């Protein structure tokens, strides 16, 4: 059983963004037919820098692969990571199993009645509830209040307008300093 920190509305394992990109985070181990197998229970991730929540997402393929898609696909999150590298490597990624989101779902969706033991808890419902409650800067869907990032973070818009020093596009997890 993985040691998860209780965050109030959910439980999570926290790693740095660098560790998440390098696929260095804990897995659950299970024994099947006498063989020990690693299992990745995490389908939801929260990218933050301390109290600043940037993005909440989901992945069916694994968190590392999804974060790579953000960076390589030039999404708002991928651009923010690249524009603030290497400092963004120290940001936190909270890895969440959707079953550990029941308090958040009940807080965000009045009348939600599923039992916490139900194994088919929808990933979409958990992600939606967390976005509604935490209002991350970069999520537009399910987020009722979109507002600008704190000025300490370099955005692509700032780079394009010349408000910040030029920063080359990069793939941070491949060791560029």
* The model's pTM: 0.82
| Percent of the chain at pLDDT exceeding 90 | 49
What mean pLDDT is predicted for residues 144-149?
83
Regarding predicted confidence, which is higher, 168 or 46? 46
- Residue 49: name the closest of 14, 24, 25 by CA: 14
Cα separation of 76 and 58, whole Å? 15
Which of 87, 72, 91 shows the shortest CA–CA distance to 17?
91
Structure tokens given for 78: 């991928």
Q: DSSP code of 149?
A: P
Q: In the predicted model, what is the mean pLDDT of residues 12-24?
A: 95
**Rounded mean pLDDT of the chain?**
84
Q: Are 92 and 16 in contact (CB under 8 A)?
A: yes
- Whether residue 175 is contained in a domain is answered as no
Tokens of 122: 């929808």
pLDDT value, residue 113: 67
Domain count for the chain: 1
Domain range for 40: 5-164
Residue 28 falls within a domain, yes or no?
yes
CB 143 within 8 A of CB 126: no
Residue 177 lies in a domain: no
Q: Which of 107, 109, 122, 98 minimizes the C-alpha distance to 44? A: 98
CB neighbour list of residue 36: distance below 8 Å, 6 or more residues apart: 29, 30
Q: Answer yes or no: is pLDDT of 65 > 80.
A: yes
CA–CA gap between residue 20 and residue 14 (Å, rounded): 9
pLDDT at 18: 97
Residue 171 predicted with pLDDT over 70: no
pLDDT at 172 over 80: no
Question: Do the domain assignments include residue 124?
Answer: yes
Q: Is residue 52 part of a domain?
A: yes
Q: DSSP string covering 106-138, please?
A: HHHSTT----TT-TT--HHHHHHHHHHHH--TT
Residue 110 lies in a domain: yes
Provide the pLDDT for residue 106. 87
* Six token digits for residue 2: 């993985």
- As a whole number of angstroms, the distance between CA 150 and CA 68 comes to 24
Q: What pLDDT is recorded for position 87?
A: 96
With respect to residue 129, please indicate whether it lies within any of the assigned structural domains.
Answer: yes
Which of 62-76, 102-116, 140-154: highest mean pLDDT? 62-76
**Percent of the residues in the chain that have a pLDDT greater than 70, as a whole number:** 85
Average pLDDT over residues 48-60: 95
Predicted local confidence at residue 6, as pLDDT? 93
The answer to whether position 173 is within a domain reads no
């Amino acid at each position: 059983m993985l040691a998860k920190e209780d965050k109030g509305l959910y439980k999570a394992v926290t790693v740095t963004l660098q560790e998440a990109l390098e696929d260095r985070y804990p897995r659950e181990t299970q024994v099947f037919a006498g063989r020990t197998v690693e299992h990745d229970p995490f389908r939801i991730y929260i990218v933050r820098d301390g109290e600043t929540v940037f993005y909440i997402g989901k992945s069916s393929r694994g968190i590392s692969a999804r974060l790579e898609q953000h960076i390589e696909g030039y999404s708002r999150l991928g651009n923010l990571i690249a524009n603030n590298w290497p400092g963004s490597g120290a940001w936190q990624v909270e890895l969440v199993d959707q079953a550990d989101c029941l308090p958040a779902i009940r807080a965000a969706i009045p009348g939600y009645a599923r039992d916490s033991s139900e194994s088919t808890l929808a990933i979409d419902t958990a992600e939606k509830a967390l976005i509604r409650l935490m209002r991350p800067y970069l999520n537009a869907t399910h987020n009722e209040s979109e507002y600008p990032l704190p000025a300490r973070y370099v955005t692509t818009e700032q780079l394009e307008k010349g408000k910040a020093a030029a920063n080359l596009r990069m793939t941070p997890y491949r060791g560029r300093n």
